[in-house]
Amino acid sequence: MTFVEPDLDAVATICGHLIELSTNGWLKGSTIKSGRRYRHRLTIPLPINDPKPTGSLMIEAGARLPGIADLRIDFKPAKTGPNGISDVVALLDLITHLGGQHFITNGTLTRYDIAIDLWGGSVDEVLVFSKRSQKNGVYTDRNGCPETVYMGTPRSNRTVAYTKIHKPSLRQSLRIERRMTRRCKGHEWPAISDPFQVVQLVYTQSILPLLDKLIPQQFFDSVRIRGLNRVLATLPSKQRKAIKAALNDPAQSLLPSTAQIWTGWHHLLEKTGLGFLLTSVTHEVPSDEVPLIPNIKPRQVSGV
């Protein structure tokens, strides 16, 4: 999140506060250094002075280059929890004259990641598609088993699917993550449209009966790397149509109804300590994308 502060004296004061916070010993584990884009970058474990911090906050101030916002913060609400968010607001209260809630409510979100977990799932068991993604990438383990699939570029609204092991329970999930770069103000964030409506998830086992005379693993790997249309173009017409029909069948989707999941978005903001944003909800921020398939099949999930 970035914030434009037109008062240069206020920016200088904020920079002074960052230096003081890093040197007075009050923030255990904090560090400050200079960066290429900002003169000061303060990193603080969250919650503050907790013996087992779960996240961190990075505050940058004093832009070195023209066209860069004067202030920038970076943190992960899912990791910091409500206590960490309270600390973020309190720290911004200390260093800015406008206060933490004003900063977050009126600042500009330049990137935000939102994810859901499908418990017990694994990325090597599915084919993941994301509407309008022009570039795909796959990371595998040493045995060639897919671990992470990227759809889209880092500068686009990107979809990432990967197998995640949750500590300390060691439970496994298939995580579907949307890394959004569509800018919005903090007070607009609660009204963003469902970012998962563009994602389609199909269990590879449901396609197996249609892969006559093909090596299934080679087919799935080719689709992940080269894209569905290019792979289907090499197949006989009848087989190609059958596979397309199966992939477009809502009954074959493993992804639950994202419209239903998205009704919990405001509750999630409340739970993570960002409920104050709900008091200034504006009209819905539209999506540039459209869903692939309607009425998808429910499955146990949790929001992140």
Domain boundary among 93, 109, 125: 109
The predicted structure's pLDDT at residue 39: 94
63 and 166 part of one domain: no
Structurally, the chain folds into a number of domains equal to: 2
64 and 42 part of one domain: yes
d(CA 264, CA 124): 28
Report pTM.
Answer: 0.84
The predicted structure's pLDDT at residue 298: 32
Could you list the mean pLDDT of each consecutive 10-residue stretch along the chain, which spans 304 residues?
92 92 88 92 93 94 92 93 94 92 95 94 92 87 91 91 91 95 95 94 92 92 90 94 89 84 94 90 46 34 44
121 and 228 part of one domain: yes
The predicted structure's pLDDT at residue 296: 28
Residues 6+ apart with CB under 8 A from 51: none
Domain boundary among 109, 143, 171: 109
Domain that holds residue 37: 2-109
178 and 220 part of one domain: yes
294 and 161 part of one domain: yes
50 and 77 part of one domain: yes
The predicted structure's pLDDT at residue 134: 79
Give the full edge-to-edge strand order of the sheet including 108-109: 31-33, 38-46, 55-63, 71-75, 2-3, 108-109, 184-185
105 and 81 part of one domain: yes
144 and 200 part of one domain: yes
The predicted structure's pLDDT at residue 240: 93
